[in-house]
């Protein structure tokens, strides 16, 4: 009987241990299940966000493609391509002509202004260029500004008590020493 009681106590202890181990494993499995559910929920949310983002990007790409297509069609009309002009109404063609003439006028004015600036003295920005510097060859100044540059260089040399200058002044374009300046007559 004592052996049976001892055996029964051992079985009860073993059962308690097994029961505790199984309960701990069940708790771990429950926690893992909750973690997996949370990760699955997060993955679903990320997938939905990625889907929305993908749809937004696709919509943006489609919109950009439409914009590019419209810009190409407008460019073809502005270039006067026959196929692009064929389907336009008389009013649309007239509006296109007015716009093109206005653009042409603006282009001519800009070209004339650029040419005027290219012919204007870089020092005073008023008189036409009329002198070329040697040895660099830049025709950058008017005669009055060349004289002014010479006077300024001479005064600076006197103030520095320099008796003899290697050169009088520098070209305002390239900053190379000017050996001489000569009058230029444009044809």
The model's pLDDT over 129-168, given as tens digits with 9 standing for 90+, comes to: 999 999 999 999 999 999 999 888 877 777 665 545 455 7
pLDDT bucket at 103, cuts 50 / 70 / 90: very high
pLDDT of residue 155: 78
Tokens of 38: 């949370």
Q: At what angle do helices 90-119 and 2-78 cross, to 10 degrees?
A: 80
Picking from 7-16, 24-33, 59-68, 86-95, which range would have the lowest pLDDT averaged per residue? Answer: 7-16
- Mean pLDDT, rounded, of the chain: 90
**Which residues are within 8 A (CB) of 141 and not within 5 positions of it... i.e. 6 or more apart?**
121, 122, 123, 129, 130, 131, 133, 149, 172, 181
pLDDT bucket at 10, cuts 50 / 70 / 90: confident
pLDDT bucket at 64, cuts 50 / 70 / 90: very high
Find out whether the peptide bond into 135 is cis, omega within 30 degrees of 0. yes
Q: What percent of the chain has pLDDT over 90?
A: 73
**Which residues are within 8 A (CB) of 171 and not within 5 positions of it... i.e. 6 or more apart?**
133, 136, 138, 140, 177, 178
The predicted model gives 52-67 an average pLDDT of: 96
Q: What is the pTM of this model?
A: 0.47
pLDDT bucket at 94, cuts 50 / 70 / 90: very high
Q: What percent of the chain has pLDDT over 70?
A: 95
pLDDT of residue 161: 57
């Amino acid at each position: 009987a004592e052996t049976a009681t001892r055996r029964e106590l051992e079985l009860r202890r073993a059962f308690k241990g097994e029961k505790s181990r199984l309960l701990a494993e069940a708790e771990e499995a429950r926690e893992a299940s909750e973690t997996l559910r949370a990760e699955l929920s997060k993955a679903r949310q990320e997938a939905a966000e990625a889907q929305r983002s993908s749809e937004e990007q696709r919509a943006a790409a489609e919109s950009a493609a439409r914009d590019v297509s419209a810009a190409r069609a407008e460019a073809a009309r502005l270039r006067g391509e026959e196929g692009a002009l064929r389907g336009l109404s008389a009013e649309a063609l007239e509006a296109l002509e007015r716009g093109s003439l206005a653009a042409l006028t603006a282009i001519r004015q800009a070209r004339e202004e650029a040419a005027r600036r290219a012919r204007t003295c870089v020092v005073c920005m008023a008189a036409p260029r009329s002198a070329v510097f040697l040895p660099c060859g830049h025709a950058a100044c008017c005669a009055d500004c060349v004289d002014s540059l010479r006077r300024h260089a001479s005064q600076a040399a006197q103030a520095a008590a320099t008796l003899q200058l290697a050169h009088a002044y520098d070209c305002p374009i390239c900053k190379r020493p000017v050996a001489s300046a000569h009058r230029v007559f444009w044809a």
